[in-house]
Structure 1
Amino acid sequence: MSSAAQVAVRSAEIARILGTESDLKLFQQHLEDVLRGEAFRGSHRSGQFLRYVVEQSINGHCDELKERLIGIELFGRAPSYDTGEDAIVRVTASDVRRRLLQHYGTYGTDSEFRIRLPLGSYIPEIVRDVPVKMETAEEKEVESPLEASADLSVSSSVVEPEESAPAAQEDVKSPERAQGFWTRRKILLCCVAIAVSSIFAMWLVTRAGRIRKESLWGELFGFQWSTKLITSDPNIVEIQTLTGQTVTLSDYANQRYVPDPSKVTPELMKFSTEILRGDKAAAIDTGVAVNVAEWMDQANAGRLTIQSARNLRFADLLKDGNFILLGSPRSNPWALFYNDHLDFRFVFDQNSGQEIVENLHPHRGESAKYIPTAKGFATGQSFAVASYLRNPDHQGHVLLIAGADAEGTEAVDDLMTDSTALSAAMSQCGLPHKAPIPNFQLLLRLSTMAGSPEHSEVIACHILS
C-alpha cells in the first residue's frame, strides 16, 4: 500500500472509532492511563513520542508523521539533520513498541482500547473492543450496523457506504452520532478523492512517455510530480536590517521574526510589527513565476502552485514533489533547509553589510568567496547561483533561484528559462541533458548598470555528490 493510501485508510479508521466527543474523551483518558502506567513511567522521551504521534493522528495529521519531521518538531533536531547518522526517532519508536507490549501484557484484559505502533510506520493504530449486549428483535430492527459491531478495529477495511445510511437516520435522536457520521463521510470522500488522484497520476506518468519534451524542464523535473514555487519575503529582509538580528530557519518557521525582542526598542518593535502586516512577495518574483509557468506549459511538465515563504511550514517541504525556491536565505530562510547539500552558499557578511557567496570546495582557478561590488541599484558586479537537487529523502527535485540582489535572481531566472542558454551551460559543465541529471550548481557573475543587469555569464559549475 502506498504511503498516501495508508494515511487515508488509517485516518478513516481512527475517525470511525473516535467519531463522537464521548468516544474521544474515553480514548484520551485511556492514553493518560497508558502514559501514567508502569511501562512508560520510566521513560519521559518514549511517553512524549507516544503522546505526539497519537495526538497528531486523532487531529488528522497522519501525513506529517515522518521520521525527519518528528525529529525536527519533537526532538528539536536541525532541519537538515542526517537521519542515517541520528536514529533517535527509530530508536524511540522501537522502545515505544516494546513498552506498549509490556503495558497491554499486564492490563490488556481490562482495556477497552489498544494502541499499536506497526513496524515501519509512525502512524499508530487504535483498536476498540465494545462489549456486545443481548438484543431483542425490536432493537435489531432500528439498530445501526455500527452499534452491532463488536470490534471496531483499525486493522479492518474502510467504512463501507451502506453502513452510513442507518447512522444518518439517527442524527435527530443523537447529535453526537450525526457528527460522527458526517466526519466519517467526509473522510470517506477524501479517500475516494485520493484514489482518483492516484489513478490520474498513473495516467499522467503513462502519458508523459508519449509527449515530446520541448525544453530541458521536462528532463529536470519530469511529469510525475506537481511543482510548488515559493516566493521570497522582502519584509523579513527589512526586519533584519532594522534590528541588526539574523533570522534563522528555526526562527522563521516558528514565526519569531525578531529573535530577541529584548534588544529592540518598543518603537522599533511596533514598527517591525507594522512592516510584517500582510504577506508580500518581491517584485521580481512575479516575473519569475510567469516565466516558470510558461516554461512548464511548453514542456507539459505538470501542475504549478505558488505559495509565499511566510505561509510555508516544515511539513510542506517534507513531501514528494518538485519545489522552486526564489531568493537567497536572507529573503527566503527556507533556502537554508537545503544548505548542507550545497557548495556555493549565500552568507551575510557583517563587515560589508551584504550577502556574499562562499565556495566550500573551490576548484582550480576559483575563489573561496565572491563579494559583489554593486550595492543597491549601483554599478558594478554581482553574483547569483542556480542550485538543482534531488528532493532529500523524497521523490522529486528542488531548484533554488537566488542572487545577492534582485538583479541576480532575475539573471538566474533568465538562464533557467532559456533552453538554449541552459543547454549550453550544462554542456560546458559536462552535465547530461537526459534524466537522471545529477545535482549541480551554476555560479553566475553579472554586470549591473545603475541597478539593471547588463550582462551575465556562468563562471563556475559544480556537480554535487
Structure 2
Amino acid sequence: MNSKSALPVLELPPKAARIAPRLSIAGVNHQHSEDPRWQLAQRIAASESIGRSKLLADFLLYIVDRHIRDLADEITEQQIGVLVFGRAEGYDSNEDNIVRSYARNLRKRIDEYFATEGCSEPLLLQIPRGGYTPIFSSAVKSPVETKAEESAISAQRRDAVSIEFIEPQTPATTESPLPSGPAAAHAALHANARSPRISLWILVSLLIGILLGAGVEFLGHARQIASSEDAASHKLWSQIFTADRDTFIVPSDVGLVIMQRLIQRPVPLSKYVNGSYRTTAGIENAVDAAEILKLGGRRFTNVVDLNFVARLAQLREVVPERMKVQYARDMRMEDLRTSNAILIGSEEANPWLELFRPQLYFSFCFDPDPGKPSGFVNLHPRAGENTLYSTAGHEDQTFGIIAFLPNLNNDGHVVIVAGLNTAGTEAAASFLLNSSLMAPTLQRARASNGELQPFELLIKAENVATNASAPSLVLERIGIPQAQ
C-alpha cells in the first residue's frame, strides 16, 4: 500500500450548524462615518477587487469598525466567525477554518486594490498575518524617499542634456555659411578631431536603438503568449467557478481506501451513498473487523489533495461564497446534478467518479494482486497507442487523468483530477494548474461559439519517493466517447 496515500493528515469536520444570525454592517450609519479610515474601508469594500463578495466586504467593515471603536477584544477569530459568518456560538475554529481562509483572500484582494484602482489613496490598510486587527499608515512619501526620487530625476535630466548636447547636425540641415581661407582650414581640422567621437556616439545610439527595439518586440511577443495562455486558463476556470451556482471541491476519502485494502473488496457508489459498506457483512470473522470498519467512518484525506485545494482557492476566478470543500461521504447526487464540482482522487478514493465512467476515454484498472498490473485502460486506442498505461515494471513512473465534463444535468461542469496513486493525482493537479501546459489543449477544445468542449488528458510523471516530478501529456481527447 502506498504510504503516502494512507497517511491520515486531516479529518474534515461536518458542517457547523448556522444558528447565529450573520451580521451585515455594510449599510449601517456609524458615528465615525466621517473618519478617513472608515471611508477608505468602504471604498475597498465597494471596489472591483472585493465588491462582488458580500462576505469579504462584511469581514473588512467589521474589523475596521471594531478597530475604530477601540474594541480589540471583538476582533478575534471566534467573534468574526459568529458575527460575520454566522457560525454557532462556541464553534470549534480548529475544525472550521472559514475565518482564516477568508482572511487570506481578503489580504490578497486588498493588495490588488492598492495596486490598481486604489493606487492614489492617501491612506494604506493592511491586515498583518497572524491576526485580524487592521493597520493604517500614510501613503505620503517621506522626505528621504522624496529627496532620493528627486536626485534620480536630476541625474536622468543631466544624462539627457549631455546626450542632446553632443548630438551632431548633418550638413543637410545646417544653414550657416561655410567658412573659407585659414578659418576654413581651422574649422576642418577641428571637425576632423571631433568626427571619431561623433561617429562613436552615432554607432552607440544605433546599437541602443536596435537593442531596445528588439527587446520591446521580444517582451511584446512574450506578453502576447502569456496573455493568450492566461486567457485560455481563465476561460476554463470561469466556467468552473460561477456566481450562479455552488462549486464543490471533493477530496479523496483515504479512510475508505485503507478499509478497502484491508478487506480486499471494492466499495461501489450505491453502498457508499447509503452507508451499507460499513457493516460487518462478509468480514465477521476477520481479525479486528470492527476496527477495520471504523476506518470507513473516519474523515481522512491526504496532503496532495489539501495542497491542490489551497491552490484552487487562490485562483482569481473563485467566487468565495460559492466555493465549498465537501467531504466525499457528505456529497449527494443532487449536488452533482445542479452544481459544478472538482472531484479529486481515483474511484477507489472517490466513488463519485463512477457516475462519469461512461464519459471517460481512460478507465481505472485496479487489481489487489501485486503480480497483476494496475493502470489506465485506453478504451478507444488509436494507431500507435497502448491499451494499458501501467506502473507495472516501472515503479518510478505514474499516471493521472484530467477530465472536463458536463454535470449530471448538463447545465454545469465537473472536473476530474485523479491518479493511480497520490503521485499520479499530484501530477494531474500540477499539469492542470499550469497555464502554459494546458493552453494547447484549451485552444483545441474551444468550440466555434467560444465555449469549451469536454476533454480528457492522460498525464505521465516521474514518481520520486511518492512525489510527482515534471508532468507531461501522453494522450489527449476532445469531446465525449460515442456510445458503442
* TM superposition score normalised by structure 2: 0.47
